[in-house]
Amino acid sequence: MKSYALFKKDISSELRTRYAINALAMFIIVTLSIILFSIGNERISSSLTGGLFWVIIFFTSMSGLSRVFVSEEERGTSLTLQLIAAPSTVFSGKLLFNLILVFAMNTVIAILYSALFNTFVLKNFALFLTSFILSNIGLAFASTIIAAIISKAGAKGTLYPVLSFPILLPLILTSVQLTLFAMDGTSFETAKFELAIVGCYDVIIFTVSYLLFDFIWKE
């Protein structure tokens, strides 16, 4: 309930300040437009279409998901949070906020991408949906803990994608592969190894984040 109260506070704050939503919306529109302009009339291969989809997701995440901690640090309200909540409450509340943001953001990207790129055809939609959900969970977990780490640093904007890249690489590579499987119409049976990798990634990153957060949060 305490985490939910923090999540409610963050949602309410976001709706008033538009700290992350505007940045994410602009990034999605600009990135999709640039890709469309650069492709022109050319028909791109399905493997490239699947890869580009995750490139957009990765960079959009880098532009907005760090705000959950960075905004608190920049405004000086981190101390206030430390005085009213235990570290586990702060982590769960912020994680919940990033989960909702990641799902909303990636759903918008997926819908726009399907509408704008006619080579993005999913033959096994159930597989895509499963991998999409698992990957989004991993993305939210990883981006939340990385945001907590970089919020204490000086060059936050630069550090976030640099630190995120090696941590998110296994997730992104496997998600690209799963998207390609979904586009090819591959069965769940064939894709189970990749699904297991993403599932294990989610469990590992959540456990590590939860254990490390106390040390990151307290100076």
Q: How many residues does the chain have?
A: 219
CB nearer to other proteins: give 74 or 107.
Answer: 74
Structure token pair of residue 7:
């999540």
Nearer to other proteins, 69 or 128 (CB): 69
Closest contact distance (angstroms) between CB of 74 and other proteins is: 10
d(CA 46, CA 41): 15
Q: Which CB atom, from 91 or from 128, has the smaller least distance to other proteins?
A: 91
Min dist. Cβ of residue 147 to other proteins (A): 19
Euclidean distance between CA atoms 169 and 104, whole angstroms: 22
**Residue closer to other proteins (CB basis): 87 or 170:** 87
150, 158 Cβ separation under 8 angstroms: no
Q: Measured at the alpha carbon of residue 27, what is the angle toward residues 93 and 50, in degrees to the nearest 5?
A: 95
| Residues sharing a CB contact under 8 Å with residue 12, sequence separation 6 or more, in sequence order | none
User: Which residues contact other proteins (rule: CB under 8 A)?
Assistant: 1-2, 5-6, 8-9, 12-13, 16-17, 75-77, 79-89, 93, 218-219
Query: What sign does the dihedral 153-155-161-165 (CA atoms) show?
Result: negative
* Least distance from other proteins to the Cβ atom of residue 167, Å: 26
Rounded CA gap, 132 and 7, in Å?
23
Least CB distance to other proteins at residue 16 (A): 4
CA–chain centroid gap for 192, Å, is: 22
Distance of closest approach, residue 17 Cβ to other proteins, in angstroms = 5
- Give the shortest CB-8-to-other proteins separation in angstroms: 7
Structure tokens at 20: 């992350």
Nearer to other proteins, 92 or 177 (CB): 92
The three-point CA angle 71-103-88 to 5° equals 50
Q: Which is nearer to other proteins, 20 or 122 (CB)?
A: 20
